[in-house]
Amino acid sequence: MKGKKGSLVIKISIPSEKSPKQESGGDDSSPAARKWAREVWEFGKEDTNRVIFAVKVGLAVLLVSLLILIRSPYDVFGASIIWAILTVAIMFEYTVGATFNRGFNRALGSLLAGIFAVAVMQVAMACGHVAEPYIIGLSIFVIGAVTSFMKLYPSLVPYEYGFRVILFTYCLIIVSGYRMGTPIRTAMERIYSIGIGGITTLLVNAVIFPIWAGEQLHRELVGSFNAVADSLEECVRKYLADDGSGGQPDFSKNVMDDFADEPSFRKCRATLNSSTKLDTLASSAKWEPPHGRFRQLFYPWAEYVKVGAVLRHCAYEVMALHGCLHSEIQAPYNLRCAFGPEILDVADQAAELLRSLGKDISNMKQSLHTSLLNRVHLSADRLQASIDMHSYLLTSGHDFPAHPLPPGQPSDDKTASGNCNAQPADSYHEAMRKQQRRLFSWPSREVDDYEDGGVHDSEAIQRMRTLESTAALSLATFTSLLIEFVVRLDHLVDAAELLAKMAKFKEEAGKS
Amino acid sequence: MKGKKGSLVIKISIPSEKSPKQESGGDDSSPAARKWAREVWEFGKEDTNRVIFAVKVGLAVLLVSLLILIRSPYDVFGASIIWAILTVAIMFEYTVGATFNRGFNRALGSLLAGIFAVAVMQVAMACGHVAEPYIIGLSIFVIGAVTSFMKLYPSLVPYEYGFRVILFTYCLIIVSGYRMGTPIRTAMERIYSIGIGGITTLLVNAVIFPIWAGEQLHRELVGSFNAVADSLEECVRKYLADDGSGGQPDFSKNVMDDFADEPSFRKCRATLNSSTKLDTLASSAKWEPPHGRFRQLFYPWAEYVKVGAVLRHCAYEVMALHGCLHSEIQAPYNLRCAFGPEILDVADQAAELLRSLGKDISNMKQSLHTSLLNRVHLSADRLQASIDMHSYLLTSGHDFPAHPLPPGQPSDDKTASGNCNAQPADSYHEAMRKQQRRLFSWPSREVDDYEDGGVHDSEAIQRMRTLESTAALSLATFTSLLIEFVVRLDHLVDAAELLAKMAKFKEEAGKS
C-alpha cells in the first residue's frame, strides 16, 4: 500500500510537474508566435511600401495567370503563355526604376538571343542534317562561355541579368526549335509571351502606388545627413560627459556587437557602407520617367551619389572622432571640460548646418547657407583660438591632472559630470590665463634632469609623463578632427549647392 | 584661273584634310579594337579563374543540351527537359559555395512550391469545377504577396532567390496542371528535369577546376592586410615628403576622381567597402565541403569576417591619417621633418606587423607576434616621448615657421625634400633642446597683449597666430592617429590569433 501510495504520489507529482512545463511551453510558444507576428506587423507598418509591393506582386501574377485560367485567351496564346508568369516573377522589382532596368535587360537579352538563335539555326539547317547538332552544340557552348565571361567584366556587371537571359533564352529557342523544327515560330511565341508578362509587370509596378527609386534615393541621402549630424552630436556629448568612472567597454567586444549603446554611430556607419545602395538606387532612378516632385527631364540623379560621396568623407572624420572617444589613452576629464563649451558649440553648429542641408534637400529648396557656414567657421575659430591660448595645458602641463581645479569647477561632483558645459567659459579662461603665466615661468627642470643624467632612474617617471602628455594631446587630436570636419563641410555645402542648382530646386530669397 | 586655282587648291586641300582624318579614324578604331581586345585579354590573364568559369558554364549548358540534341534521352525525358537548361543558366555561380547555396534555394523552393501546388490543386478539385479557378487564382495572389513580403524581411534577404523560385514554380505547376489536369505528373516531371540540371551544374562546378569561395575569402582577407599596410606607408611617406611646393590638388575633385595618384589609398578604401563582399563569401564558404587547405570540418569562416571587421576599424584610422594629409591646414614642412624618423619608424613597424599577420594567415601558420608587436609599441613610445619632449614646437612656438632651421637641415634644397628622414635624429634633437630652453624663457608678451587691450588692432595677428598654431597641432593629430592605429593593432593581433587557433593553423615554434 505504501509502495502504491508512493507510486501514486509520484504519479500525481509527474503530471503536476509536467503541466506547468507544458503551460510554460505553451506560454513560451504562444508569446513567441505573438512576438513574431508583432515583429512582422511592425515591419510592415514601419514602411507601408513593403505591403504595397507584396500586394502588387500578387496582383501582377494573378493578372497574368488569368490569361491561362480563363478559356478564351488560353485558346489564343496556347501553352507558351506560361512564360509570361516566369517573366513577372523574375522581373518584378521593388522600385519602378529597377523594374524598368530589369525589363530592358530581359527585352534586349531575349531579342539578341532570338536573333542569334534564328541566325545559327539557318546556318545549321543549311549545313545539312549530320552537321546540324554539332553546330548547335558548339554554338551553345560558345554562347555559354562568352556571356559568362562578359558578365564578369567590371563595366558590364550591371547587365549581369541580361547575359543570363541571353544564355537561357538562346538555349531554349534553339533546342526546342531543333526538336520542333520551327525556330522562328518558337521565338515569336516566346517573345509575345514575354512581352505580355513584361508589360503587365511594368503597368502594375508603375501605375498602382508606384515606389520610385528616385524618391528612395532622395530620402536615403536626407537620412544620411541626419545620421551624420546625430552621430557627431552623440560622439561629442559622450566625449564631454564621460568622466572615466564608468569605464569604456572593451573595444574589440564593441566592434563585434556594433557599439550597442550608440544608435547614431551605427546609423553613421551604415551611411559609410551605403555607397553601393546609393549607386544602385541612382542607376535605377535613371530609368524612371519624370514623376512626383522630380518633374525635370534628365534629373541629375548622379549628383546625389556625388553629394553622398562627399558626405561619406565627412563621416570618416566622425569615425575618427569616435575612435578618439573609444581610445585607450584619454585626456583627463577636467581638461575635456575646460574646452567643453567651445567643442560643444562647434559640434552643435556643424550638426545644425548638416540638418539644414538635409532639410533643404528634403524640401527641394535652394537657399544660401553662408550665414550658417560662417557661424560654424566662427565657432571653429573660437575653438582654435582657445586651444592655442591654452596649448600649454595640452603639452607642457605634465602635472596638470594633479592640479586642483580652479574655483567654480565641480570636479568631484559626479552628478554634475554631464553639466560641465554649463560652466561659463570666460571666468574659467580667466583662471587659466593666470595658470599660463605661472607655467611659463616654470623652470624646465624635469627636461634638464632627463638630459644631464639619471636616465635609468627616471625612466619610469619619464614613461608616465609621456603617457600623461599624450593623454592631453588626445584632446588636441579630438579638436583637430572636429575642425577638419568643419573644413570638409565647405565641400559638402558646395556639392549640395551644385545639386540644388542642377536639380533646379526652388530658390528661397528670404533665407540667407 | 586664279579662282579656279584657288578652288582647286581648296579641293585638293579638302581631301588631303579628310584623308588624314579618315586615316586617323581608321587608326583610332583599329587601335581601339586592338586596345579593347588587349584589355579583355589582360582581364582574363589577371585571374585565369574567370576563363575557367566561362568555359565551365559553356560545358554545363552543352552537357544539358545534349540530353535534347541526342535522340534517346529526349525520348525518355520529353520536352520538359528544357527546364534543365533553365536551371543551369540560373544556378551556375562563380564559386562552388554560391552554387551550392543557390542550388539549395532552388531545390527547397521547388519542393515547397510543388507541395503547395499539389495540396491546393487537391482542394480546388474537391470544391468542384465552378470554384476551381477562383481558388487557384486566390492562391496565386496569396503566394505572390506572401513570398514578396517575406523576401524583404532582413533575416530572409539571403533567401531572396528561393522565394522567387517558390513563386514561379508554384504558378507554373498549378496553371499548367489546371490546363493539363495532371498536376502531380507535371510537378514530378519538372522536378526530375530541375534535378538533372542542378546535378549537372553542381558536378561541373565542383569537380572541374573548382573555384572555392573559401579560398577567395582567404585571399581577400590577406589582400586587405596588405592594402592597409601599403596605404599606411604611402600616406606617411607622402606626408613627410610633401613640402607644400607642389600644392595639393583640390579635395573635392579628388573625392570624385578617387585620388588617382594614390593607388594604395584606393585599395584601402576598397577594403572599407568590402564588408558585403566578405559577408557574401563567408556565407557561400559555409556551404562548401572541406577542400584543399581547409580540411577541417566546420572551418571557422565567420572568424574571417570578424578579423575583417577589426581590420576595417584599423583602416578607419588610416582614412583619418589620409584626411590629415589632405587637410588644408598643414604643419610646416620643417616640423614634419623634425619628427620624420620617429613617424616613419612607427609606420614601418606597423606595416611590417600587418604584413606579417597577413603572411601568416596566407600560409596558415600560427606564430607569436609578440616581438613584432613589442617593437611597434617601442617605436610608438619613442614617437610619444619625442612629441612630448618637443611639444613646445607644436603649440607655443608661434613664430616657429619664421625661425631659421638649425644647421644641417636643408630646408631650401628641394631635391632633398624626400630625404629629410635621412637626417640623424640625435643631432637635431640636440639643437631642439637648446631652442626649447630659449622658448621657456621667452616672455609671454603676445598673450599679455591680447589680454590687456588692443584686441581690435591685433585681431588679424591673433587670427594668423591661431592658424599657425593649429597648423603645428595638426602634426600632433597625425601622430595621435598613428598611435591610435598602433593601439588598435593589439585587437587585430588578438583577432588574428583567435582565427589561427580556431582554424587550427600550423604552429611554428621557431618564430617568436
A10 touches chain B (CB under 8 A): no
- What is the rounded end-to-end Cα distance, in angstroms, of chain B? 95
C-alpha span between A187 and A176 (Å, rounded): 10
Burial of B28 (C-beta count, 10 Å sphere; 0-12/13-18/19+): exposed
Average pLDDT for chain A:
75
- B247, pLDDT greater than 60: no
B258 vs B85, higher pLDDT: B85
pLDDT for A78 equals: 73
CB contacts under 8 A, A 164-203 vs B, are 164, 167-168, 171-172, 175-176, 178-179
Residues of A in contact with B446 (CB under 8 A): none
- Nearest to A92, CA basis, from A121, A62, A56: A56
Q: What are the tens digits of pLDDT across the range B4-56?
A: 333 333 333 333 333 443 444 444 557 788 888 888 888 888 888 899 999 99
Q: Rounded to the nearest 10 degrees, what angle do helices A160-180 and A132-150 cross at?
A: 170
C-alpha span between A23 and B14 (Å, rounded): 98
Chain centroid, CA A275 distance in Å? 7
Best of A175, A486, A487 to disrupt the B interface (most B CBs within 10 Å) is A175
Residues of B in contact with A168 (CB under 8 A): 85-86, 89-90
| CB A230, CB A264: distance < 8 Å | yes
**Residue A215, CA distances (Å) to A3, A219, A285, B6, B237 in order:** 78, 6, 8, 63, 44
B12 touches chain A (CB under 8 A): no
**Does the model's pTM come out above 0.90?**
no
Q: What percentage of chain B exceeds 70 in pLDDT?
A: 72
Provide the grid cell at A288. 524612371
Residues of B in contact with A65 (CB under 8 A): 136-137, 140, 171, 175
B395/A388 Cβ within 8 A: yes
User: Rounded to the nearest 5 degrees, what angle is found at the Cα of B428, between the Cα atoms of B379 and B394?
Assistant: 70
Residues of B in contact with A152 (CB under 8 A): 43, 50, 53-54, 94
C-alpha span between A301 and A278 (Å, rounded): 10
C-alpha span between A95 and A340 (Å, rounded): 46
| CB B57, CB A163: distance < 8 Å | no
Q: What are the tens digits of pLDDT across the range B57-80?
A: 999 999 988 887 887 777 777 777
pLDDT for A274 equals: 79
B437 vs B220, higher pLDDT: B220
Cell numbers 542542378 correspond to B198
CB contacts under 8 A, B 309-338 vs A, are 309-310, 313, 316-317, 319-320, 323-324, 327-329
Residue among A66, A251, A273 whose CB faces B275 most closely: A273
- B147, pLDDT greater than 90: yes
Q: What are the tens digits of pLDDT across the range A183-229?
A: 677 777 777 888 889 999 999 999 999 999 999 999 999 999 999 99
- Which residue of chain B is at minimal alpha-carbon distance from A137? B62
Mean pLDDT for B176-200 is 78
Backbone CA torsion sign across B174, B176, B181, B186: negative
pLDDT for B328 equals: 65
Dihedral angle of Cα B133, B136, B142, B144, to the nearest 10 degrees? -100
CA of A18 vs chain B CAs: smallest distance (Å) = 34
Provide the grid cell at B466. 591661431
Band the pLDDT of A432: cuts 50, 70, 90: very low
**Residue B88, CA distances (Å) to B81, B91, B328 in order:** 12, 5, 55
Q: What are the tens digits of pLDDT across the range A15-56?
A: 333 344 344 444 455 778 888 888 888 888 888 889 999 999
Burial of B359 (C-beta count, 10 Å sphere; 0-12/13-18/19+): middle
CB contacts under 8 A, B 422-441 vs A, are 433, 436-437, 440
A259 vs B508, higher pLDDT: B508
Residues of B in contact with A479 (CB under 8 A): 473
- A445, pLDDT greater than 60: no
What is the phi-psi region of residue B288: left when phi exceeds 0, alpha when psi lies from -120 to 50, beta otherwise?
beta
Burial of A242 (C-beta count, 10 Å sphere; 0-12/13-18/19+): middle
Cell numbers 559555409 correspond to B286
Would you call A11 helix, strand, or coil by DSSP?
helix
Best of A36, A45, A49, A57 to disrupt the B interface (most B CBs within 10 Å) is A57
Best of A46, A56, A65, A139 to disrupt the B interface (most B CBs within 10 Å) is A65
C-alpha span between A90 and A102 (Å, rounded): 9
B51 touches chain A (CB under 8 A): yes
Would you call B493 helix, strand, or coil by DSSP?
helix
Burial A304-337, CB ≥16 within 10 A → b, else e: bbbbbbbbbbbbbbbbbbbbbbbbebbbbbbbbb
B50/A152 Cβ within 8 A: yes
B478 vs A74, higher pLDDT: B478
Burial of B17 (C-beta count, 10 Å sphere; 0-12/13-18/19+): exposed
Residue among B145, B329, B387 whose CB faces A58 most closely: B145
- Nearest to A366, CA basis, from A176, A460, A242, A493: A493
C-alpha span between A178 and A117 (Å, rounded): 10
B57 touches chain A (CB under 8 A): yes
Bridge partners, residue B366, by sequence: B507
B329/A140 Cβ within 8 A: no
- Which residue of chain A is at minimal alpha-carbon distance from B169? A86
Residue among B319, B466, B484 whose CB faces A327 most closely: B484
A153 touches chain B (CB under 8 A): yes
Other C-beta atoms within 10 Å of A108: how many?
14
What is the phi-psi region of residue B104: left when phi exceeds 0, alpha when psi lies from -120 to 50, beta otherwise?
alpha
B148/A53 Cβ within 8 A: yes
- Nearest to B228, CA basis, from B281, B274, B277: B274
| CB B410, CB A405: distance < 8 Å | no
Provide the grid cell at B185. 505528373
Residues of B in contact with A273 (CB under 8 A): 273, 275-276
Mean pLDDT for B94-116 is 90
Residue among B65, B167, B309 whose CB faces A140 most closely: B65
B319/A462 Cβ within 8 A: no
Band the pLDDT of A367: cuts 50, 70, 90: confident
Q: Give one DSSP letter per residue of A20-60, joined into a string.
A: HHHHHHHHHHHHHHHHHHHHHHHHHHH-HHHHHHHHHHHHH
A477/B481 Cβ within 8 A: yes
- B141, pLDDT greater than 90: yes
Bridge partners, residue A506, by sequence: A365
Chain centroid, CA A67 distance in Å? 42
| CB B291, CB B459: distance < 8 Å | no
Residues of B in contact with A327 (CB under 8 A): 484, 487
Phi, psi of A366, rounded to the nearest 5 degrees: -115, 110
Backbone CA torsion sign across B509, B362, B287, B274: positive
- Which residue of chain A is at minimal alpha-carbon distance from B146? A54
Mean pLDDT for B281-289 is 89
pLDDT for B426 equals: 38
Weakest mean pLDDT among A486-500, B181-195, B402-416: B402-416
- Which residue of chain B is at minimal alpha-carbon distance from A54? B145
Mean pLDDT for A388-411 is 48
